[in-house]
Amino acid sequence: MSATPRSVEELAQALVRIPSVNPDGDPGTDRTGEQACAEYLAGFLRELGAETALHEVYPGRPNIVARFPSAAGKPRLLFAPHTDTVSVAGMSIDPFGGEMRGGKLYGRGASDTKGPMASMLWALHECRGILPELTHEIWFAGLMGEEAGQDGAKALAERERFAFVIVGEPTNLEVVFKHKVDVTARISATGRAAHSSCPERGENAITKLAAGLLALAKALTSHFETVSDPVLGHPTFSIGTIRGGTKFNIVPDHAEAVIDLRLLPSQWKNGEARDVFEVMRQACPGLQVEQIMGSEALDTDPDHPLIAQLTAAGGRLAGAAWFCDAAIFSAQGVPAVAVGPGSIAQAHTEDEFIEVADLEHGVEFFKRFLHSLRVG
């Protein structure tokens, strides 16, 4: 480990300067994987007195898992930010520069989620003397792969069992106890190729797809207006990509679109996602409709006593349209929330940053929460 940071700002800066880009898709750099970040965290956590281990999920892509020694038999409380970041392609700043300017820390991951991670870690650093006497045994995990597949969270959830999980995300210190489910659907149209000078001899798959998508969008809009959640509102959808054809002078024989559906936890738990897909199929009977991906639902009881302590520490209850690793633990029946400093509006942006003041507010928030766990 390099020089020990002297503040949360220096810690966040050090983390941003360690490339840990998720290799999925176009990472925009060859400096991918979470190994270096996990090793840095292991060194930092060992200096705090934690027992640490790296659990490899994929080659060069481990989880870092740490346990702070405590009396046997206590329920386990896990702090769990993720160590990977999204692509750095198209960024307008040095993604790994960690520049401090105008009261902001710039770089990929500053907001999502190395800044929130730094606040968690610095609170643990400042509270290290009281951790053994808390009501819960404190664990920390830097999870790989959250930005694509959530395999780090899945691996840890299979390996260990926790009483409560606090996932680090930039929520402006709102305690996100519920979020929508991200379901991805592919809509495909099949046609018949022909020379474009004689289009009547073919069947245009793009035209079929376009007409079907218009009908599908109208049907989904009407259906989603009938479903709502008091925290999350209505489900939503977005047609994200369309691909079709091979050349401008050939009538296309195939076209497809991918739709991002954000469903409510109740729809997911009650099997009502099937109803959504049936609505889609009825709206465009000539097209193929299939689910290609789905996340998990987060829907933790807001009356859980540790949520009450998080709100007493200064958090505010909230829901979210995005999804995160908290849902992986929630799917196994473990109460989980997402909370951290910074704004989700800065996540994944070309000039990603976090306010330094937010980092400091995050430290104070997590310190108040940890102190609330002291016996007596």
Mean pLDDT of 203-229: 96
Asked, as a colleague might, if the bond just before 113 is cis with ω within 30 of 0, I would say: yes
The string of pLDDT tens digits covering residues 119-176 is 999 999 999 999 999 999 999 999 999 999 999 999 999 999 999 999 999 999 999 9
> Is 186 exposed, middle or buried (CB count within 10 Å of its CB: 0-12, 13-18, 19+)?
middle
Query: What is the band of 2 on the pLDDT scale with cuts at 50, 70, 90?
Result: low
Amino acid at 5: P
> Is 358 exposed, middle or buried (CB count within 10 Å of its CB: 0-12, 13-18, 19+)?
buried
Query: What is the band of 184 on the pLDDT scale with cuts at 50, 70, 90?
Result: very high
- pLDDT of 376 > 90? The answer is no
pTM over 0.85, yes/no: yes
The string of pLDDT tens digits covering residues 278-322 is 999 999 999 999 999 888 999 999 999 999 999 999 999 999 999
All structural domains of the chain, each given as residue ranges with its CATH number in brackets, are 8-178+297-371 (3.40.630.10), 181-294 (3.30.70.360)
261 dihedral zone (left: phi>0; alpha: psi -120 to 50; beta): beta
| The two structure tokens encoding residue 243 | 């691909």
Report long-range pairs for 193-197 (Cβ below 8 Å, ≥24 apart).
Answer: 193/250, 193/251, 193/252, 193/253, 194/250, 194/251, 195/249, 195/250, 195/251, 196/248, 196/249, 196/250, 196/251, 197/249
Mean pLDDT of 322-340: 96
